[in-house]
Amino acid sequence: MPSPSSSLPRVAWIGLGIMGLPMASNLLKAGYEVTGHTLEQAGLDRLAAVGGTPAASVAAAVRGADVVVTMLPASPEVEAVAHGEHGVLAHAAPGTLFVDMSSVTPRTSVELAEAAARKGIRVLDAPVSGGEAGAVEGVLSIMAGGERADFERALPLFRALGTTVVLCGPHGAGQTVKAANQLIVAANIQACAEAVIFLEKSGVDLEAALDVLGGGLAGSAVLSRKRHNFLSRHYPPGFRIDLHHKDMGIVTDAARAVGAAVPVGALVASLVAAARAQGDGGLDHSALLRGVERLSGIERAHGAEQPAGAQQPPASGAGRARR
């Protein structure tokens, strides 16, 4: 049922982190009523500050909602929030549309859709690309999987969050496309990082080089959006290396399952894992540059660019995410 004060559906939003909070804020700006839940009190406070309603639990957030959106780190968190006596499936009304916008394994999306169908709840997987800036600016790419009628029901909401919105196929197809996206982005960051160190060691003016590279075939969203990080050697997340490690696990597993060779993907997955093992998991993925520095014999104070607490991998490790 739509909200009594507007014709727009009432939204429950679970997961108000780097991506979830600005996305929920954009729904509020577009006139949606948003009730949200997340683990950190600061996230609940920020939702209230932009006009949303904080909820103390998943169950309280989804009560009375027409659409439930999750924006959580990985498969284990999505499964924990969806299932069980306190989960979305136990508390959302039949007919609710459950849109998981987290990046998870395609299998998680398929299994979630099957479990939800038994309760009369509709599901879409709808992971995104565009990073924190894309979330803040409302210009994300949204790659959906599921049934067309459900996609069309979610389309007005998606239009408040992104500019490129595509139904890619059945349940899990959005996640498969997102996995391909993460392969392309990681390989692109690694190539840019290698070029930066090559240029610097060669004595070329780095800013001038990046200007001209950005205008030719080497130009990319990665090069323009991460340029400042490369130049400043400052890597506030952004998109954490921990999360990209999870995504490289998803793409290499999914590719092996269908017999697709991804040799560059496998190599970059190993470099992302090495960055994490060196304590860089909490940094933005542009910090792959630090790995190239280490391999090239460039010494920097270990952890100099780390945000507080970034040395410890989060509980949502990639091992558990790789289901």
Minimum Å distance from CB 130 to ligand NAD?
A: 7
Residue nearest to ligand NAD (CB): 17
Give the separation between CA 225 and CA 1, rounded to whole angstroms. 40
Minimum Å distance from CB 181 to ligand NAD?
A: 9
Using CB under 6 A, pick the residue from 2, 29, 31, 40 that binds ligand NAD: 40
- Comparison of 19 and 193: residue with beta carbon closer to ligand NAD: 19
Question: What track of x and - describes contact with ligand NAD for positions 98 through 117 (by CB under 6 A)?
Answer: ----xx--------------
Using CB under 6 A, pick the residue from 6, 29, 31, 39 that binds ligand NAD: 39
> What is the tally of helices (H) and strands (E) in the chain?
15, 9
**C-alpha 111, offset from chain centre:** 20
Minimum Å distance from CB 296 to ligand NAD?
A: 27
The neighbour count for residue 32, using CB atoms within 10 Å, is: 22
Judged by CB under 6 A, the number of residues near ligand NAD is 28
Residue 319 dihedral angles phi and psi, to the nearest 5°: -60, -45
Give the separation between CA 152 and CA 141, rounded to whole angstroms. 16
Question: What track of x and - describes contact with ligand NAD for positions 238 through 277 (by CB under 6 A)?
Answer: xx---x----------------------------------
Using CB under 6 A, pick the residue from 38, 105, 108, 109 that binds ligand NAD: 38
The single residue listed with the structure tokens 């899990």 is 172
- Comparison of 71 and 116: residue with beta carbon closer to ligand NAD: 71
Beta bridge partners of 129: 141
Q: Hey, which residues between 3 and 22 contact ligand NAD (CB under 6 A)?
A: 14-20
Minimum Å distance from CB 229 to ligand NAD?
A: 13
Is the Cβ–Cβ distance between 24 and 34 less than 8 Å?
Answer: yes
- Comparison of 168 and 213: residue with beta carbon closer to ligand NAD: 168
Is 119 marked active-site?
no
Using CB under 6 A, pick the residue from 128, 142, 157, 318 that binds ligand NAD: 128
Tokens of 42: 């600061």
Using CB under 6 A, pick the residue from 71, 112, 124, 292 that binds ligand NAD: 71
According to the binding rule CB under 6 A, does residue 73 interact with ligand NAD? yes
Q: At what angle do helices 221-232 and 206-214 cross, to 10 degrees?
A: 170
29, 119, 178, 226: the active-site residue? 178
Q: What is the dihedral of CA 271, 277, 279, 282, to 10 degrees?
A: 70
Question: Measured between alpha carbons, how far is residue 285 from residues 145, 183, 239, 241, 280 in Å?
Answer: 26, 12, 6, 5, 9
Question: What track of x and - describes contact with ligand NAD for positions 270 through 309 (by CB under 6 A)?
Answer: ----------------------------------------
- DSSP per position, 78-132: HHHHHSSTTSHHHHSPTT-EEEE-S---HHHHHHHHHHHHTTT-EEEE--EESHH
- Comparison of 25 and 103: residue with beta carbon closer to ligand NAD: 103
Question: Measured between alpha carbons, how far is residue 18 from residues 23, 69, 102, 134, 169 in Å?
Answer: 9, 15, 12, 11, 27
- Using CB under 6 A as the criterion, which residues of the chain lie in contact with ligand NAD when the complex forms? 14-20, 37-40, 43, 71-74, 77, 80-81, 102-103, 128-129, 131-132, 238-239, 243
* Catalytic residue numbers, as ranges: 178
